[in-house]
Every structure is written in structure tokens, then in C-alpha cells.
Structure 1
């Protein structure tokens, strides 16, 4: 469903630019496709919420204090008015859609691009693995507390975000009042689209902008949007990606199959709302044996490998 919403949001909608031609969306099937998706996601979220409501009733009847999740917490807020927040069923569905939509696709995109850049630059992989080795000191598993000491890994992920932002055009903004930006008058109600991809590759702001240079972020440069319009889940997603990449490079050796080098790797970006790799990332993965020689190598699709883990 999230793949479909990404495709729909990335599709050219003529009604956004020429409103009186909105009827074209009925003819070309875009409206029907939107309605079908809305019904699917709406029914799915209704089922999830209803299942949790039934679970709440069972817990109330049997005083069963079981594990709770995000939906349970939202239902508690809906029920308990002392929080000062009024939630209804549609509010809960909207929050869930935002949380899972923004929390899964961009994170998986960042994981894929980071691994692609690491495979494209073997010297970067070696540097990260040396850093991991120094931090872990023989430990087989990496904890989140270890991640804070991995400054080069942090720089690699930031450099990946600079070159490959998961949402190249960010979320469109709508001005609430007339403003003047660098001599340009922009009227209220104007929809503004910010090109994060272009900002990250601007030669005025970055030295050798097309080159992958993680060391540019070793001095805590702030390359991304901050403030009240910043992504509320950025730190969570960043921490997840750090932990996954660190463990993958710690427990496995990685290379490209068929004798390919980093220069052969296809880094073409797919079209759409989000910036995926245009082709699947095929990797050669070897499980490290901490007590002996490495095991045999296996060629596999990177995301299939993550799902397998």
C-alpha cells in the first residue's frame, strides 16, 4: 500500500496546475485509482484499530497487563480526556498513516543508498569496519550505546543523505502570508516545493558536491532542515539506520557479484515521490566467523537479505 501511495503522490496531476482540466483524471483513471487506494488503506486501518479496541475490552475484563503498542497508546489518549488532547477514529488513522508511511519508506531508502555508496567506495567500507572493530573490541553484537562512538559511520550516513535525500522535493508547503525571499515576492496561499536534492549538490555550498566525501561531516556540520518544520522522526530513523549498518558491516563481509567494481554499480535514481535506486542492489555477502575462517559467500538481493534477517 505504501508503494502505491508513493506512486500516486509522484504521479503528475494536471488538476494541481490547471484546475479546470481536473476532469482528465476521471478519463485517465487517476481518480478511480485514488479512490481504490483510499478505500484499501481506510479499511485496513479500521481493522487494526478495531482489533486493538477488542484487546482493550479483554484487558479491562481480565485485568491482563500485556504489552502495548502505538495504537494502544492512542486509544488510551482517546479514552482518557485528562491528557488535554481530543482524538477521534479518523485522527488515529491519520497519525498511524503518517507514522508508518514516513517511518518505513524513507528509512529503507536510506539503508539501500548507504549500502550502495559503501559498496561503491571500498575504502569507506574499510574505514567503517576499522572504526567498528575499535569500538566493539571483540564483541559479537553492537548495542545502541556503541553507535555514539562511531563518528565516521555517522558522517557516512549524513553524506548519503546529502546526495540521496529520500524525498528529493520534500513535502510541499503552503504560505500563510505574503513574504519576500531574497528579493522575490511570494503571495499567500502559494504552494512552495523545496528541492532538497539540488540544495545538497549546490557547488556554492559544497566543495566537490558530486563526490562522496563523508569526512566533510566529521566536524558536526548541520546539512539538513531544523526547527519546528523538521522531521519529528529524524533522530529515530537515523539511529535505526546507524545500528543496522553497523551490525551488517560487523557481522558480514560485502562485495559486488560477478567481479564488478564500485565504478560498475548502477546509481541511477528511480522517478517518483521518493528516491529509490532504479535497479535492485545485488550483493555478495559472507558471514564472518568470529572463531574461525569465514563461511562461503552468497549472492542475494539486499532487501531480501534484510527481510530474511
Structure 2
């Protein structure tokens, strides 16, 4: 038998093609015409699909070449199996391998992590407008009424109106000064309450949460909640707020694979909706009581003080479209203040006391300063705070080592952008790792040590305003924390009062650790339990309404 050669195969293929082409061109009946038409469509579709696949593949390969480096992942799920629970530590270790900017593929979501002051500056100042949108998890959108608040809303006209109103009507120096009596009253109540527990172990986190919550509730709706109702609602608020923060920080498969989000496989969104319903019931009750009070007192003219709620309700009736807000906006703003203010502030106070108890010589310096500025026969007033330079340095150092939001709030670029020489595609989740930036050895001397003195020298005297990108505990740029002025006042006043009024010790047989538990808010792994003892000799200084000359 003759051996079949390559030329034979080639001839057969050409003959087949020739016959097909001839069939295609020759006149045929209706049946053949339909077949040719279908075959034409099929071949065309195949050619277009093949061409599109080739183009996309080449573009993807080109894009991958421009993307930041990162660890290899698995098909479909990417790097998900390798991500560790303590994200701030996991990201910090990855910087040693891939440098200060790297990428992770989390299911369908591309995530880019920035870990240096220069990269933070590029995102939060140089390209601030491009990165002004939030990449909100589904649970955050639920609790914020679909992103109608300041923290999670998309950057745009509505957000600018809300933030302008919030800063002007609630966070201005004049407005905050008018709330001083309310803040002082709650701080004094806390000092009195702790005084009744002398010698008893107390949870600092719980105590501070209730303190901050009472301050915020008093500023939001004044004396609307009183007595037993205040205590009951306060305890319930703590449970609900902590669960809200926990749900926002939990990994959610619905965020990783949006195509299955409607099934809510982990039930996180259902849980958040139940919490939202609880908040709505509280807000409805308070709003109804306020309406009745305003009506009874003649539009509120005889009220003793103005609070956030009164200001917001006035804006509801404002006919100017530039300042008028909706009821949904009002609720979302209240949610921001309640959830955003309580958990972050109470956690920072717990970290501060923990660090000071771990470094007793630093605590002694703080208390010596308080004795000099305030005096042992006086109570701490906000007018003292600007003179407490060492305490201010301590607070800054606490927020350097323990930024409450270690990865800040995720950003999402509105367009592809070049950062650090790499391309960050549109809609990528961008995380600014403040925790790592605050420990950058190129930016900080002995970065893992607790050294408040670093903030007393002019060369490193950073503030909270985000102008020094080595130090961004509250973020920077147009999306910097809107409640910063209030947070700064509350943190200093509460912390100064606790350290001036009491000595703090651990229960016998316990040891203090500074281990962290990651979440959207980073907490102490083991809550701080401490025993207070009085520092001041005059018992009247522990009265809830003690007033002494400044």
C-alpha cells in the first residue's frame, strides 16, 4: 500500500475546501439556502468570538503586566484560601515580599493594598477625586439606608450637601461649644458612677461605650431619654452597635461573588436588616417625642438647649433645595453619629488605658501634667485640654499604634488610574493600610515602641488632619472623618478625667496583653478589666455636678 504523505493530506483538505466553497456559491433550493444561511451565521459568530477572545486575552495580559505584583491565586476564588484573619498583619508581611503596593484577587473582586505614605498621598491627595468613592460592603449599604449617609455614600452632589451641612451645622466650633454643658454633664456622671465601683473590677470598654453613647445621645436628642429608659436603651444600643460593626467587618461571600448576592448565603444581610429595624423603632420613638415636645413648647422656642435632632428637623422643613434634607438622610446621619462615634471612641480609650497601664512611667507623667494644669482640688474641664501637651502626645501615639480603622474605609476609583507606577483599574477595591504606614521604619524611628515623646518634637508633630501622610488615623482628603472635631474633644476630655480622678490596677492574678483582634474596628483581643481607686482626696470632686473654679 502506498504511504500517505503530507502532500496527500494537504491535497485532500484543499479539495474539501474547494467543494465547500463551490457548494456555497452555486444556486441551490430553499432547503440548502437555509442551511447556508445558518452556517454563515455560525461561522461569522465563531470568527467574531475568536477574535474578541484573542483581543481580550491580549489586553488582559497587557493589563496584568501593568497591575501591581501580588501572590498567585487559584482559578475562580483567587487568593481567598490564603488570606489570614488578622488582615493588618497579613498585609504587613506581604509588603516584605511584594513591596508597598500589591494586589489580591478575592473571588470576582480585585483588591489593591497601599502600605506607604507616598502611595497614600497619591490616592488621598494627588488623585483624591478619582478615589473619592467608597467600596461599601452589602451590610454597610443596608445599615446606611442604601448608602445615604456620609461615611458610605457615593461621592457626588448629594454627598457634598450632606457633608457641608454636617460640618457647618454640627461640627463647627460654635456649635460644639454650645454642647459643652451636655458633654461635661455626661463625663461627670461617668466619674461619679466609677466612684461607686471603687475596688471593683470593671470592663473599660463597656464603661466607655456607655459614657460615649450617653454623650452622643445627649447631643443628638438632649433630654428626650431619661432615667430607666436611658439605661435600658443604652445597654441595648451597645449590643446592637457592636453587632453592626461586627457584621460590616465580616467577610461576605455576597461581596466576593455579587452574582449570588441575592441569596445572602451567610445570612449577614438579613441580620443587618433586623438591626436596622431596631434602630428605626428607636428613631421613630425619639422623633415622635420630639414632635410632641416642639408642638407643646411652641416650635421649640422654650427648649433649654439646641441639639443635633432639633437642627436636623429644622433642615427637614427648609425650603432651600441646597440645604433641605429628607427623612432618610436624617436617619442616615443619626446612624453615622451613633454607630461611628461610640465604637471607635470607646475602643480608643480602652487602648489608651491599656498602653498607659503597660507603661506605668508614662502614666505617671500624664498624671503629673494633670496635677500641674488641673490641680488635685479641681475637675477636668475642656478649657484645660489645650494645655495638656503630653496627654495630647499620648493620644496621638495610641492612634499611631492602634488606628481604630486599620485599613480606613475601602475606596473605589471612578476611573483607571496610575499609582506608584502601576495601573489600578476602575472599580477596584483600594485599601490604605494605615496600620502598616504607622509602623513604616522609613517614616518612624523605632516604630513598634510606644513613645509619646515623638509627637513633642517639631520634626514629627503630626496632627489629625491628614496633612502628614505618615500619620492618617482619621484618613485624609475630602473623605476624611467628618466627626473628627467632636472625636478629638471627647477623647481628650474622657481620658483626662479618668486619669485625673482615678488610679488603675489589674485584678490580682491577671496579666495585661496588647494583642489585637482585627475587624473594621480593631479592638483589644482581651477586653481590659481594671480596678479603680480614687486619686483625689475631696469626695465632692466625684459628685455628678461638681463645679469648681478653673
Normalised TM-score (structure 2)? 0.50
- Distance in 2, Cα, partners of 1:154 & 1:278: 25
Instruction: Give how far 1:228 is off.
Output: 2.2
Q: Which residue of 2 aligns with 1:253?
A: 503
Kindly indicate whether structure 1 or structure 2 has the higher relative contact order, using CA contacts under 8 Å at least 6 residues apart: 2
Counterpart in 2 of 1:201?
Answer: 439
Following the alignment from structure 1 to structure 2, what is the Cα–Cα distance between the partners of residues 2 and 17? 24
Distance 2:392 2:275 in 1: 37
More displaced stretch, 283-292 vs 198-207: 283-292
- Identify unmatched segments of 5+ residues in structure 2: 1-239, 464-470, 540-550
- Alignment correspondent of 1:130: 368
Q: How many Å apart are 1:145 and its aligned residue? A: 1.4
Among candidates 460, 481, 488, match of residue 238 of structure 1: 488
Greater shift, 151-160 or 9-18, is seen at 9-18
Q: Report the Cα distance in structure 2 between the residues aligned to 1:34 and 1:158, rounded to whole angstroms.
A: 33
Q: Describe how 1:128-207 pairs up with structure 2 within 5 A.
A: 128-207=366-445
Confirm or deny that 1:44 pairs with 2:246.
no
Q: 2:512 aligns with which of 233, 246, 265?
A: 265
Taking a change above 3 Å as real, the CA distance of residues 80 and 126 of structure 1, as seen in their structure-2 partners, is same
Matched, 1:280 2:531: no
Q: Which runs of 4+ in 1 moved over 4 A?
A: none
For structure 1, the 5+ residue unaligned runs are 293-309
Residue 213 in 1 paired to residue 451 in 2? yes
Q: Write the distance in 2 (CA, Å) between the matches of 1:63 and 1:46.
A: 22
| Cα shift at 1:148 | 0.8
- Distance (Å, rounded) in 1 between the aligned partners of 2:301 and 2:262: 55
Cα 1:214–1:244 change in 2 (3 A) is same
CA distance in structure 1 between the partners assigned to 2:441 and 2:358 by the alignment: 22
Distance in structure 2 (CA, Å) of the matches to 1:254 and 1:31: 41
For the residues of structure 2 that align with 1:95 and 1:61, how far apart are their CA atoms? 22
How far apart, CA to CA, are the structure 2 residues paired with 1:62 and 1:167? 38
**1:12-51 to 2 correspondence within 5 Å?**
12-22=251-261, 25-26=264-265, 28-51=266-289
Are residues 1:68 and 2:318 paired?
no
CA contact (8 A) 2:504 2:532 kept: yes
| 3-state SS in 1 of match to 2:523 | coil
Q: CA RMSD in A?
A: 2.2
Contact residue 410 and residue 430 of structure 2 kept, 8 A? yes
Greater Cα shift, 159-168 or 228-237: 228-237
Larger radius of gyration: 2
* Cα distance between partner residues in 2 of 1:63 and 1:203: 57
Q: Matched residues in 2 for 1:251 and 1:216: separation?
A: 27
Give the TM-score taking structure 1 as reference length.
0.86
Residue 290 (structure 1) aligned with residue 537 (structure 2): yes
User: Per-residue deviation at 1:243?
Assistant: 1.3
